[in-house]
A and B are shown apart, each in its own frame.
Chain A
Amino acid sequence: MKPEGRSLFARHRDLLLLAALVVLAAALSTRLGPYGLRVATMVFMYVALAQSWNLIGGYAGLISIAHPAFFGTGAIAAAILLINGAGIPIAMLGALLVSLAVALCIGLPTLRLQGHYFVVATLLVSEALRNFVLNLNAFGFSGGIAVNLVGPLGLTRMGPAEYNQLFYFVMLGLAAASVLVVLGFERSRWGLALRAIRDNQTAASALGVAAARLKTMVFMLSAAIASIIGTAWAFWLGTVETNEAYNLLITFEIIVMVFLGGRGTLWGPVIGVVLILMLNESIGIELAELTQIVSGLIVVLIVLFQPDGLIRITTDGLAAFAPRRLAANFRRYRVT
């Protein structure tokens, strides 16, 4: 059989690639200026976020819009804990636990819903949570006012350069960890089971896959990663604001990235993140609306013509985007 016969290199190709990218990024850290460092940190953060969404949206095929709830709670709950005198580790852990509780409350009812209902329900729930936090007035926290974390973080002795370096590595670590989680997941029986559920839940259940439980577990895992990134993001900025933390646009952006690169694949989301962030940076802040229009267009085109995403190039070469292939995909996937 082929699997046994695969070379050591082929079997560990993804790990080697990841290690190479991390080493490269670490080496770059001292070469990058403040702007480069900021953009790179952003890329790492988005890679981690995109991978966390890829678990639920890609592998499980559940287009969850609940991500702002987890990212936002990771940020805000950590901020509340910090300003109440908790240390950084307690704030991180506490925020994670609160997010997991939120994820369970959202996941248990919504994961029973089919297709579009799930999408709409998760969207409504995360918007409801944003409104709730916006009106929250407790623990010395007021939802409408930005919280300054620079003091409570106690990192004031660091110079800005050092501070940015620190978060460059924090986000790099999170990005690498999230790729590792997806890699491990993809290779495991759970990854296979999840793909089976995505393709045909009835058949998967009849073969012994505990579909409801597995989907809940993946939803929680995805939420946990998003929450940790939310916490790191709040610490990085040194200030958090409710509307920003629970911003739906961040989630829409990562969905675009995952679809563009290839949902349910290991490297697709990474490619998507790099391309979209490069696009954003080159178009610039003055034309932010333009990038949103372009992003929307990209999703429509990719879903219609190459639903497997750009990652297809690595397996099929440019043939993946030959006009005939795109036309065939269009005929196959369009709604008639």
Chain B
Amino acid sequence: MSAPILAATGLTKRFGGLLAVDGVDFEIARGEIVGLIGPNGAGKTTFVDLLTGVQMATSGSIRLGERDATRLSAHERSRLGLARTFQIPRPFQDMTILENVMVGALFGVGGRAVGMEAARRQATDALARAGLGGLADRRTDILTTSGRKRLEIARCLAAQPMLLFLDEPLGGLNATEVNEALDLIRTLRDGGVTIVFIEHIVPAVMSVSDRVFVLAGGRKLAEGKPAEILADGAVRRAYLGDVGGAVRRYRPAATPAGGA
């Protein structure tokens, strides 16, 4: 693997007596798509919170390229090239959908210097790519769950990140929309964006990831190519087993995907 653009060592987060993330080592190279899977409560969201600075780690360290990012705040990491969607969408409710996305364009990685008009154009473009074109001037409360997830993605796109974390972005999407989203993820990667992708829809993760990273009980359970992970006994017992039926029933073209 070439020099990682992000590397975490011994990353740990303690909530009182609970070790939500427990000494996890993680690396990702430029241009990779890494699927992050694990049962409910495995610590996936908390792990991404730690990497993006939304929460501070109890211990462990994080490097972004050459820099020690362990103590950097979320906005500083964003400016260094990170962006993330939230599993539970966090729209800016008192703004239009376009304005929501403009925040990404104005303050994210690519946008620090652009003026309002340029930000408006970039935001419009990001909305179209995320499938929300035409809703620019509406308020966020008209959006459905899947619309909110798309808005999360659009805001990140406008920020032009080099490393993008997607926390269950497919919730509420139907099968066609899931495939569109996966295409978007591949397109982004082809455009040079590195991606960490959390998702419970296992076939979706497997189809798009170069590498899969499995968390269970806050610890790394396994890591490897999608085929290796699918064949891994420990992973099957801890995670895939309980959704095995769903995996077998999953038909990308016909069945609607489950909710968030």
Chain A residues with Cβ under 8 A from B107's Cβ?
Answer: 189, 193, 207-209
Indicate if the CB atoms of A193 and B74 lie closer than 8 Å. Answer: no
B108 within 8 A of A: yes
Chain B residues with Cβ under 8 A from A202's Cβ?
Answer: 54, 74, 86, 90
Indicate if the CB atoms of A2 and B137 lie closer than 8 Å. Answer: yes
Q: Tell whether A207 pairs with B159 under 8 Å between CB atoms, given A192-B103, A196-B103.
A: yes
Contact of A200 among B91, B104, B109, B137 (CB under 8 A): B91
A195 within 8 A of B: yes
A318 to B119, CA, bound (A): 35
Indicate if the CB atoms of A189 and B84 lie closer than 8 Å. Answer: no
Q: In angstroms, how far is the closest chain A Cβ from the Cβ of B248?
A: 36
Counting chain B CB atoms within 10 Å of each CB, which of A192, A199, A206 scores highest? Answer: A206
A211 within 8 A of B: yes
B209 within 8 A of A: no
Stretch with Cβ within 8 A of A (4 or more), from B35-43, B92-100, B187-195, B229-237: B92-100
Stretch with Cβ within 8 A of A (4 or more), from B24-32, B61-69, B75-83, B199-207: B75-83
Chain A residues with Cβ under 8 A from B112's Cβ?
Answer: 208
Q: Which residues of B contact A (CB under 8 A)?
A: 52-54, 73-75, 78-79, 83-84, 86, 90-95, 99-100, 102-104, 106-109, 111-112, 116-117, 119-121, 124, 136-137, 155-156, 159
Q: In angstroms, how far is the closest chain A Cβ from the Cβ of B72?
A: 11
Indicate if the CB atoms of B75 and A208 lie closer than 8 Å. Answer: yes
Indicate if the CB atoms of B92 and A196 lie closer than 8 Å. Answer: yes
Indicate if the CB atoms of B116 and A187 lie closer than 8 Å. Answer: yes
Indicate if the CB atoms of A208 and B99 lie closer than 8 Å. Answer: no
Counting chain B CB atoms within 10 Å of each CB, which of A4, A208, A264 scores highest? Answer: A208
Q: Tell whether A199 pairs with B95 under 8 Å between CB atoms, given A205-B75, A206-B52, A208-B159.
A: yes
Chain A residues with Cβ under 8 A from B104's Cβ?
Answer: 207-208
A88 to B102, CA, bound (A): 44
A-B contact count (CB 8 A): 92
- Kindly state the interface size class of chain A when it binds its partner: 20 to 34
| Contact digits for A205-241, partner B, Cβ 8 Å, 1 yes 0 no | 1111111000000000000000000000000000000
5 A-B residue pairs with CB within 8 Å: A196-B103, A203-B155, A207-B103, A207-B155, A207-B156
Indicate if the CB atoms of A205 and B90 lie closer than 8 Å. Answer: no
Indicate if the CB atoms of B79 and A189 lie closer than 8 Å. Answer: no
Q: In angstroms, how far is the closest chain A Cβ from the Cβ of B228?
A: 32
A2 to B123, CA, bound (A): 13
Q: Which residues of A contact B (CB under 8 A)?
A: 1-4, 187-189, 192-193, 195-196, 198-200, 202-211, 264
Chain A residues with Cβ under 8 A from B78's Cβ?
Answer: 205-208
Q: In angstroms, how far is the closest chain A Cβ from the Cβ of B260?
A: 17
Which residue of chain B has the shortest Cβ distance to A4 in the bound complex? B117
A250 to B116, CA, bound (A): 36
Q: Is the interface of A mostly helix, strand, loop or mixed?
A: helix
Which residue of chain A has the shortest Cβ distance to B140 in the bound complex? A199
Chain B residues with Cβ under 8 A from A205's Cβ?
Answer: 53-54, 73-75, 78
Chain A residues with Cβ under 8 A from B119's Cβ?
Answer: 189
Indicate if the CB atoms of A199 and B75 lie closer than 8 Å. Answer: no
Indicate if the CB atoms of A193 and B106 lie closer than 8 Å. Answer: yes
A4 to B117, CA, bound (A): 8
Q: In angstroms, how far is the closest chain A Cβ from the Cβ of B218?
A: 22
Q: Tell whether A203 pairs with B99 under 8 Å between CB atoms, given A189-B107, A189-B116, A208-B159.
A: no
A152 to B52, CA, bound (A): 58
Which residue of chain A has the shortest Cβ distance to B52 in the bound complex? A206
A1 to B119, CA, bound (A): 13
Contact of B108 among A1, A207, A211 (CB under 8 A): A207
Q: Tell whether A199 pairs with B92 under 8 Å between CB atoms, given A1-B124, A187-B116.
A: yes
Chain A residues with Cβ under 8 A from B124's Cβ?
Answer: 1
Indicate if the CB atoms of A206 and B103 lie closer than 8 Å. Answer: no
Indicate if the CB atoms of B103 and A193 lie closer than 8 Å. Answer: yes
Indicate if the CB atoms of B74 and A189 lie closer than 8 Å. Answer: no
Chain B residues with Cβ under 8 A from A206's Cβ?
Answer: 52-54, 74-75, 78, 83-84, 86
A324 to B100, CA, bound (A): 29
A225 to B74, CA, bound (A): 31
Chain B residues with Cβ under 8 A from A200's Cβ?
Answer: 90-93
CB-CB nearest 8 A-B residue pairs: A208-B107, A208-B78, A203-B90, A199-B92, A205-B74, A189-B106, A200-B90, A196-B103
Chain A residues with Cβ under 8 A from B102's Cβ?
Answer: 192
A117 to B90, CA, bound (A): 23
Chain A residues with Cβ under 8 A from B106's Cβ?
Answer: 189, 192-193
Indicate if the CB atoms of B120 and A1 lie closer than 8 Å. Answer: yes
Q: In angstroms, how far is the closest chain A Cβ from the Cβ of B71?
A: 14
Chain B residues with Cβ under 8 A from A3's Cβ?
Answer: 117, 120
Contact of B103 among A1, A2, A188, A204 (CB under 8 A): A204
Indicate if the CB atoms of B83 and A199 lie closer than 8 Å. Answer: no
Q: In angstroms, how far is the closest chain A Cβ from the Cβ of B69?
A: 14
A189 to B107, CA, bound (A): 9
Which residue of chain A has the shortest Cβ distance to B152 in the bound complex? A203
Contact of B94 among A187, A198, A203 (CB under 8 A): A198
A4 to B136, CA, bound (A): 14
Chain A residues with Cβ under 8 A from B116's Cβ?
Answer: 187-189
